[in-house]
Structures are given as C-alpha cells and as structure tokens.
Structure 1
Amino acid sequence: MTHYTKEQITNIAADVLEMYGQREYPVKIVALAEALGLSVYDTIFDRDDVAGMIKANERKIYICKTDSALRQRFSIAHEIGHYVLHYRSGEHINFDENKHISFRDSLSSLGFSIKEVEANYFAANILMPHTEVVKLYNDNLSIADMAKYFAVSQTAMGHRLNFLGLGNE
C-alpha cells in the first residue's frame, strides 16, 4: 500500500484542481466529483457518526443529508481524497474488492488510520489550497472571512491556518 507525504498530497490536490479547471473559490466540490466520474448522493446512514462514504467500485459518494452544507462539502472532498489517493492509479482504477467502501466517521479525524489522515489532508488542500490561504492571510483577512471565502467552517479554517503555521488566533 502506498502512503503519501504531505507534500505529495498537496501536489496531487493542486494537480486535480488544475486538471479539472477549479480556479474559483469556493471550489465547486460536487462538480469536481462529477468531473472525476463520481456521483454524489445524500442519504441517512444507519450510524449517527457517519458523515460520508465512498463505494469506489461503483464510483458513488454518499453524504449525510442532515449535516450542514459546510460539513457535507468537507465530506465530499474527503471521499474524493480516498478515490484519488487510494483507489485510482492514473486512469486505471484498482479496487481491493474487500475494501472498496470507506466511511468518514467520528474516528476519521483522530488519526487512527493513515488512509483517513491522508483523505482529510487531501480535503483540506482541495477546499483550502496552500497558496490561496497564504494570499488571504497576507491580505489580513479574518478566519471568518477566509472560512466564508472557501465555504468551510471556521474550525476547519483555523485548523488549516495552524497547520500551515499561520494561526494562533
């Protein structure tokens, strides 16, 4: 199994945005999923802690219809991350038939699974690309204004700034 460095994930996310013409913010995440050949559906999961799921061999992403729009955007980006990083290799899609379903749940952000950490990092890079975050930060935008610009939660924006060494607000 391939594991990626943060730099590799940053570059892959930037390539995906460039390849699929996502140069405006907020990123049109459903359109990006569709450009990658993925369909997005909203649903109610059997478990309250599940926010999203990908059935990679069916190219379907499911998100929790009762989550906020901002959480849904992150969940879609997270599942795209699984697809790009863990199931797709160039134009050849490699599926492990026993592991083609991936859930984004309450454990995903805790760092227990490298795949979950990678998918979260990919999602942050898709929704809040490094160069654009730095540009807004240097323009002295507030966390609230940056979060609105990227259509992410203020919490996600704060985490992204802190990770990039720009935070402490």
Structure 2
Amino acid sequence: MFNANTSTAKAKWVLETMGIKDVPAPYFDDIARQEKIKVKRRSLPSEKDFSGMLIYRGEKKGILINTYIENIGRQNFTFAHELGHYFLRHKPPYTLDGESSFRCSNQDMEVVDNYSSIEAEANQFAVELLMPELLFKPLLAGTVFDFTLMSSLANQFYVSKHACGNRILDFMKEPYILICSKGTSVTAIKCSNAAKRFGKVVKNIPTESHAYRAIQYEQNQKQFYLSPGSVWFGQLYSNIIVYECTRGNYEHDVSMTILKVEYYTNH
C-alpha cells in the first residue's frame, strides 16, 4: 500500500548517509557509484514514452535513462525515481533470461496516488531526494506562487518546472492550483492543501477563461488575470474569484496554468 512517509524518510536517510547537504541532483552519480549501480544515458527516439529502467542481473545493477527528451530536469527525476525503486527494495515486475527490471514510462513519473503503489512510492522518494524539505521549504518564505518563482527554483534544483511547481504547492498555505494541459485537455492537477476541494472539478480548460485564449493563440501571459470562480468551477463556486496565468511550450502543445483562488462576500 502506498506510504508517502516511508518513501520520504528513506530519501532523507540516503541524503544523510551520503552526507549531501547541498542541492542533491549533482550527486546522483555518486550515490549510484556508492551502491555499485552502473548508470547509462541513451537517446532512444524510437521509445518516446520510455523514461528509464532499473535492471538487476545476478549481483550486477544498472540504471538506464532515456535522454531523448532533452530536459535535464526530467532526466534527473527519472534517475531519482529509479533510485527510489532500488532503495525502497521494490520487487521488479519484469523478468526475462535471468534479468529482472523496472521499465518505467513517462506516465509512471506522474503517478501520485494508489494507481500503482510502487510507482507512487518511487515518485515520492524522488521528490524528497531532488528537493529536500529542509533545503526547499525555507526558500518559499515571503513568496507568492508564480512562474518566476517556479523557474528560479527549477533551475536551482535541476528539476523540471512541473516537478518544481508541484513541490512548491506542498508547502504553500494559500489556495493555489497548478494545471497542466495538452491542448485544452487537462492532464494533471496539483493543489495546495487550502485548494484541494477544487482539484478534481476541471477536466478541460474552460472556454471562457483567459487560459483558453492564451492556449488558442499560443501566448505566454506575463501577469495574472481576474476571472469569476464560476468560469473554472461552475455556479457551485460563485462566491470565489480566480487569478489565472498561463504559459506554454506550444511547440509540443503543452501548457501550465496557475490559479489563485480567493473568496469574497457580497454585502
């Protein structure tokens, strides 16, 4: 059964045992070397949905990372994810010719609940290994959640903006929502604790929203725009307003939208 606390604790243990007190990603090869895990990076354009794998053959261990998507942040997450399978002692689901392995897809890197417990655990491990709470959380003091903050911390911790945005929301007290979309179809939603009640309402980017127009015209918005809450969440939430900002990698037809939710009272 999925246990985020165990995964997080194990990642903290790895960092402490290795004496890593700085941003961890540059030390991943050292962690693998310490564990006698051979690491290979290969560009595999014929397997675009394949992120990486952890392989066991007898006493030998290896990690393969697909570098076809040239995003070092995503590659680092794959590396951390496979280390998660190793340190959490997950049982490999694939066995062939004396070789057992985890073969992880891009979708496996998105799992955050009980859909597949070992993938969810490996992801939780990866989040803490890449962006340790003790290093990451203090950097959020006095900040607001926007694309400037997300980009800055993503660069600092060598992670993708998506992973960084999700991590920021782990600690934000205000009601923020990060929505990822392909075209105008929502592919992932992450909410701060104060906004969890809204998290599963949206399946598509609303046609009346500023986000929809930004995606249609392939625009990167430089500011937040005001919308009635009903635009995003229906009349059930007519007593809220939403500040929204959207930016995208439109070459790949993907975008992210930040929502900040505020309540108001009519007098």
Unaligned runs of 5+ in 2: 177-257, 259-267
1:86 and 2:80 aligned: no
Report the Cα distance in structure 2 between the residues aligned to 1:151 and 1:14, rounded to whole angstroms: 18
Say which SS state the counterpart of residue 42 (structure 1) adopts: strand
1:144 and 2:148 aligned: no
Flag the 1:96–1:73 CA change in 2: closer, same or farther, 3 A: closer
**Residues 92-141 of structure 1: CA deviation (Å, up to 9, x unaligned):** xx778838311220331245311111101100110001121211111638
Greater per-residue helix proportion:
1
Say which SS state the counterpart of residue 160 (structure 1) adopts: helix
Flag the 1:96–1:157 CA change in 2: closer, same or farther, 3 A: closer
Cα offset, 1:36, TM superposition: 2.2
% of aligned pairs identical?
Answer: 26
Report the Cα distance in structure 1 between the residues aligned to 2:102 and 2:73, rounded to whole angstroms: 20
Cα offset, 1:161, TM superposition: 1.7
**Match of residue 10 from structure 2:** 12
**Match of residue 43 from structure 1:** 42
**Residues 39-87 of structure 1: CA deviation (Å, up to 9, x unaligned):** 1101244522001111034310000122222211111100000001124
Over the aligned positions, Cα root-mean-square deviation in angstroms equals 2.5
1:64 and 2:54 aligned: no
Greater per-residue strand proportion:
2
Query: TM-score, normalising length from structure 1?
Result: 0.82
Report the Cα distance in structure 2 between the residues aligned to 1:163 and 1:157, rounded to whole angstroms: 10
Contact 2:37 2:63 in 1 (8 A): yes
Q: How many residues align?
A: 161
Contact 1:71 1:153 in 2 (8 A): yes
**Match of residue 133 from structure 1:** 136
Higher relative contact order (CA 8 A, sep 6+): 1
